[in-house]
C-alpha cells in the first residue's frame, strides 16, 4: 500500500520502516517491505472535459511538461477523458515529454457526450489500471474535475471497491465551485442511487488527497510531486472469508509521533479478500 505523511499540509520525508506500524483488523502486522520513492509509478490522468472545464484544462496543459518533470525513469502515464462516457486518449507510456504534449490534444480530440459521470469514470479508470498497469510498483489516478455530478446508479462503495481491486490511490484537483457535498439531513430520505459525486471521499478512502484549486497549473505540478513522494509498505495479509472486507490501520510509531506530533498518515482503509 501507499502511505503519505503530512504535517500542516507539508510532506514529511526521511521516515524509515521503523517509523510505521500496521494493523489488519486491529492485529499488528510485520512490515516485510518498505520503500521510499523507489517504486515505479503507474499514473492515470483522468480529465473531465465537459464544457465548463476547458479553461482549467488549458491552464494545466501549459505547465504539463514541467509537471511531468517530477516523475522518474520507469514511471508511466496514461490519459483518459470523460464526460458522459470515458475514453482512453493515451495508453500507458514512459515517454513523459510526449505525454505532456498529449494533454492539450486530449481536450479537443474526443466527443464524450454531455454530462459528467464522475463515479463511473473513476471506476472505469481503476479497471483500466488493474488490467494494464501490472502488479509491480505503485498505482495512482489523478482526476481533474469540478466535482459537479450526480452518481446515477453508481454508488461510492462500488467505486471504492474498484479502486481497492486495482491497488489504486485516487487523488483529485477540484476546480470552480469546488463543492464537497454535505451529509444528508436527518430524517430526509436520499436515494443512494442518485447522490452527489464526492471525489473528496473517494480520495480519503484510498489514502489519496483532494485539493481545491484556483490556479490549476500550480496545483497540477504540486500534486504530481506529492503523488511521487510517498512511502510503499507491504505485509502478508492474514486472509479471511472470500469477498469480505478487512480494515487496515497505518500509523506512526511512538518515536516518529514524538518527532511529528501533528502528523497525519494517509493510507487506504482496507481491502477485499480475493475470491
- Could you report the per-residue pLDDT of 194-231, keeping only the tens digit for each? 777 899 999 999 999 999 887 776 688 899 999 998 99
Of the candidates 29, 40, 37, 10, the one whose C-alpha atom is nearest the C-alpha of residue 237 is 29
Question: Rounded distance, CA 267 to CA 204, Å?
Answer: 8
Q: Which CATH architecture has domain 42-228?
A: 3-Layer(aba) Sandwich (3.40)
Question: Rounded distance, CA 57 to CA 55, Å?
Answer: 5
Distances (CA, A) of 163 to 98, 157, 168, 271: 27, 10, 5, 10
Q: Where are the domains of the chain?
A: 2-36+232-272, 42-228
Give 24-80 pLDDT, tens digit per residue.
999 999 999 999 877 899 999 999 988 778 788 888 888 888 899 999 999 999 999
Contacts of 18 (CB under 8 A, 6+ apart): 253, 255, 256
The pTM assigned to this predicted structure is: 0.90
Amino acid at each position: 500500500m501507499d502511505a503519505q505523511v503530512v504535517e500542516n499540509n507539508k510532506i514529511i520525508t526521511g521516515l524509515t520502516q521503523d517509523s510505521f506500524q500496521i494493523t489488519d483488523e486491529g492485529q499488528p502486522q510485520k512490515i516485510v517491505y518498505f520503500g521510499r520513492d523507489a517504486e515505479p509509478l503507474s499514473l492515470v490522468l483522468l480529465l473531465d472535459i465537459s464544457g465548463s472545464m476547458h479553461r482549467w484544462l488549458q491552464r494545466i496543459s501549459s505547465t504539463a511538461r514541467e509537471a511531468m518533470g517530477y516523475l522518474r525513469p520507469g514511471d508511466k502515464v496514461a490519459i483518459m477523458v470523460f464526460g458522459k462516457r470515458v475514453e482512453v486518449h493515451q495508453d500507458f507510456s514512459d515517454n513523459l515529454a510526449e505525454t505532456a504534449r498529449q494533454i492539450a490534444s486530449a481536450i479537443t480530440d474526443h466527443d464524450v457526450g454531455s454530462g459528467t459521470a464522475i463515479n463511473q469514470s473513476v471506476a472505469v479508470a481503476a479497471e483500466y489500471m488493474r488490467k494494464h498497469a501490472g502488479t509491480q510498483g505503485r498505482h495512482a489516478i489523478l482526476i481533474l474535475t469540478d466535482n459537479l455530478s450526480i452518481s446515477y446508479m453508481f454508488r461510492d462503495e462500488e467505486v471504492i471497491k474498484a479502486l481497492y481491486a486495482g491497488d489504486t490511490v485516487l487523488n483529485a484537483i477540484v476546480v470552480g465551485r469546488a463543492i464537497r457535498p454535505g451529509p444528508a439531513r436527518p430524517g430526509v430520505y436520499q436515494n443512494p442511487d442518485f447522490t452527489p459525486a464526492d471525489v473528496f471521499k473517494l480520495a480519503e478512502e484510498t489514502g489519496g488527497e483532494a485539493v481545491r484549486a484556483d490556479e490549476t497549473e500550480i496545483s497540477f505540478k504540486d500534486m504530481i510531486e506529492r503523488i511521487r513522494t510517498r512511502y510503499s509498505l507491504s505485509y502478508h495479509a492474514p486472509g479471511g472469508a472470500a469477498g469480505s472486507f478487512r480494515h487496515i490501520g497505518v500509523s506512526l510509531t511512538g518515536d516518529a509521533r514524538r518527532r511529528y506530533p501533528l502528523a497525519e498518515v494517509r493510507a487506504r482503509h482496507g481491502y477485499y479478500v480475493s475470491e
